[in-house]
Amino acid sequence: MRAVVLKEIGILEIQDIPEPVPEQGEIKVKIAYAGICGSDPKIVDGIIGISHPAGAIGEPQKPTPMPQGPKILGHEASGTIVQIGKGVKGNFKVGQHVAMNFRNTCGGCYYCQNKMEHFCERVISYSGVMAEYAVFNENLVYPLPDDLPLDEGALLEPLSIAVHTLDIARIKVGDSVIITGGGTIGLLVLQLAIKSGASKVLVSEPIAEKRQMAKQLGADIVVDPIHEDLLAISNKFTNGRGFNVCIEESGIPAVTRQLILLAERCANIVWAATYQSGSEAGVPLEYMYSKELSIHSVKLAPYSFPRAVQMLPKLDLKPLIIIYPLNEVVSAFNAHKKGKGIKILLQP
């Protein structure tokens, strides 16, 4: 089968490799669409790697290099079941449309047993999905609604992140919300925030096409933070009070601090992007004290996939999607880096 392989840092290749064979409890899926996540180009460029699941008290998580040798990329995908391994207990069928999680948690470590599966100490990440076929343990496979197009189904994993972000943000009916970053997850969060009862939503995004998309999807106001005064516009938009909920999706460290200045009293601030190792955000303590602010972060999507499946048909996903054939993966990655399109999918 054909697969997108990271041969070494900075070098992607389409390679012919053997098709995977499902083992005990596994399901083989013919990949229909595989998404390029914001983390994928950073992995290709060697900017980010894999973090240890836990460290000693007082020690930050230390990223370790990506495994040596060829690696199939990708973790967002939809497809069709083509083979069911022995011992599969679920009601799965050949020909069924599905989307998948890529992290198989152990269920038995300290974190799994204490409702923190996203910090599993023995997690297994399955091989990448930028290929014609992939296999998954059955607990990672989620049937899709029959009438949902498979390209939209490929957004299940990023939508699960957005669902977890909303869990942490705790938006209440009537809240004002700011979202910094109009990429895939930022625009999914926008739609979920509106459905959760947000009365005012501002999206800050430097790329014009993404601002236009945010406006199309329901943002009350969009701001170009490079050429416009976000603080002044936000003050006017919120009558000088600031936002009840502030969600950071840009991945820019300076913006994490900026949201503290834009927050209303007793606001929830959610840093929901991925940040390069060593990045820091200076926190103005007088704001934290005088405004009684809460800062949260988002890591992966524990227990969010079933609810994300339910929300897939409820959101406007089609306008976000651009499709490239698998053999144009280099062009697709270059387009992603340049901010061309929202969610780029590869079609094997």
Q: Are 99 and 215 in the same domain?
A: no
What is the amino acid identity at position 96? Q
Q: Are 148 and 183 in the same domain?
A: no
Inside any domain, residue 302: no
**80-113 tens-digit pLDDT:** 999 999 999 999 999 999 999 999 999 999 999 9
| The token pair that represents 166 in the structure block | 């909303």
| The token pair that represents 332 in the structure block | 């697709």
Q: Are 121 and 15 in the same domain?
A: yes
Q: Are 45 and 85 in the same domain?
A: yes
Inside any domain, residue 162: no
pLDDT at 95: 97
Inside any domain, residue 206: yes
Inside any domain, residue 195: yes
Q: Are 211 and 236 in the same domain?
A: yes
Q: Are 150 and 174 in the same domain?
A: no
Pairing mode, if any, of strands 263-271 and 76-84?
unpaired
Q: Are 87 and 18 in the same domain?
A: yes
CA distance linking residue 258 with residue 189, whole number of Å:
19
Q: Are 206 and 233 in the same domain?
A: yes
Inside any domain, residue 311: no
Split into its structural domains, the chain has a count of 2
Inside any domain, residue 251: yes
**Band (164; pLDDT cuts 50, 70, 90):** very high
**Residue that wins the pLDDT comparison between 124 and 109:** 109
Question: Does the pLDDT value for residue 287 go beyond 70?
Answer: yes
Inside any domain, residue 304: no
Inside any domain, residue 310: no
Residue 11: give the domain boundaries. Answer: 2-155+317-347
Q: Are 137 and 209 in the same domain?
A: no
Q: Are 130 and 204 in the same domain?
A: no
Residues 161-178 have a mean pLDDT of 98
| CATH number of the domain bearing residue 189 | 3.40.50.720
**290-343 tens-digit pLDDT:** 999 999 999 999 999 999 999 999 999 999 999 999 999 999 999 998 888 899
Residue 225 near residue 204 (C-beta atoms within 8 A): yes
Give pTM, 2 decimals.
Answer: 0.92
| CATH number of the domain bearing residue 138 | 3.90.180.10
